[in-house]
């Protein structure tokens, strides 16, 4: 058999561009994977779809938890050495940025992860509102896309449908929050599962 050993499967990384813990994880997942000879498959999705399936609400919609997580987002970013400025508005709908991600993934795959990073950093470090069509268009042209190109993509039924299928597949796989990882089929939820993921990658199942 020429198939690679099971331990070398790519890591699946599900995220929403509006999720602070996803942003933080996006800054370490590639380095962690690379240290263990793994690659990462990035899956832009809509957390709202997963929340609906799991009967959950954003943490900032809960009394008490809201104040805590607003503090913890920034503290968790500092813990990882990642720049973080709480954006307003927050959270935001991110389907347009996600559709552009999947379009790049299909048509210019080497540009897809850089686009994801550009979106995360624009929102969480510079306060660029990804849900604002004008702001997102400007970000896309700064990124090197043609004038109006990103907007044409996010209005295209093909990429709307693609994102819808990703969301459905994520829920079918058990995703109810973000970031959400699968390593050799094992599910890990949260930026705070980094140590468990590292242990799994270095020592195998535990």
Q: Residues interacting with a copy of itself, by CB under 8 A?
A: 50, 53-56, 62-65, 67-68, 71-72, 75-76, 78-79, 171, 174-177, 187, 189-190, 192-193, 195-196, 199, 206
Pick between residue 162 and residue 194 the one whose CB is nearest to a copy of itself.
194
| Beta carbon of residue 57, minimum distance to a copy of itself (angstroms, whole number) | 8
Q: Which residue, 51 or 143, has its beta carbon nearer to a copy of itself?
A: 51
d(CA 8, CA 5): 6
Indicate left, alpha or beta for 64 from its phi (over 0: left) and psi (-120 to 50: alpha).
left
Q: Which residues pair with 42 in a beta bridge?
A: 13
d(CA 101, CA 58): 23
| Shortest Cβ 173–a copy of itself spacing (Å) | 9
Nearest to 56 by CA among 113, 109, 16, 104: 16
b/e per residue 91-126 (b: at least 16 CB within 10 A): bbbbbbbbbbbbbbbeeeeebbbebbebbbbbbbee
**Nearest approach, Cβ of 186 to a copy of itself (angstroms)?**
8
> CB 159 → a copy of itself: shortest distance, Å?
26
| Token couple for 125 | 């470090």
CB nearer to a copy of itself: pick between 114 and 174: 174
Interatomic CA distance for residues 152 and 146, integer angstroms: 10
To a copy of itself, the closest distance from the beta carbon of 187 in angstroms equals: 6
Nearer to a copy of itself, 97 or 183 (CB): 183
Between 153 and 183, CB nearer to a copy of itself = 183
């Amino acid at each position: 058999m020429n198939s690679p050993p099971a331990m070398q499967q790519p890591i699946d990384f599900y995220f929403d561009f509006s999720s602070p813990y996803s942003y933080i994880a996006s800054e370490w997942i590639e380095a962690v994977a690379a240290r263990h000879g793994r690659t990462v498959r990035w899956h832009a999705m809509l957390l709202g779809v997963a929340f609906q399936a799991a009967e959950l609400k954003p943490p900032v919609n809960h009394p008490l938890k809201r104040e805590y997580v607003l503090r913890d987002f920034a503290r968790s970013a500092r813990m990882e050495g990642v720049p973080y400025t709480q954006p307003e508005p927050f959270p935001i709908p991110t389907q347009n940025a996600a559709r552009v991600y999947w379009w790049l993934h299909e048509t210019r795959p080497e540009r897809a992860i850089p686009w994801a990073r550009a979106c995360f950093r624009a929102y969480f470090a510079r306060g660029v509102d990804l849900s604002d069509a004008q702001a997102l268009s400007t970000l896309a042209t700064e990124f090197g896309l043609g004038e109006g190109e990103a907007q044409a993509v996010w209005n295209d039924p093909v990429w709307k449908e693609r994102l819808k299928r990703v969301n459905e597949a994520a829920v079918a796989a058990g995703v109810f929050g973000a970031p959400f990882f699968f390593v050799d089929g094992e599910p890990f939820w949260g930026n705070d599962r980094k140590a468990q993921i590292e242990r799994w990658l270095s020592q195998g199942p535990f």
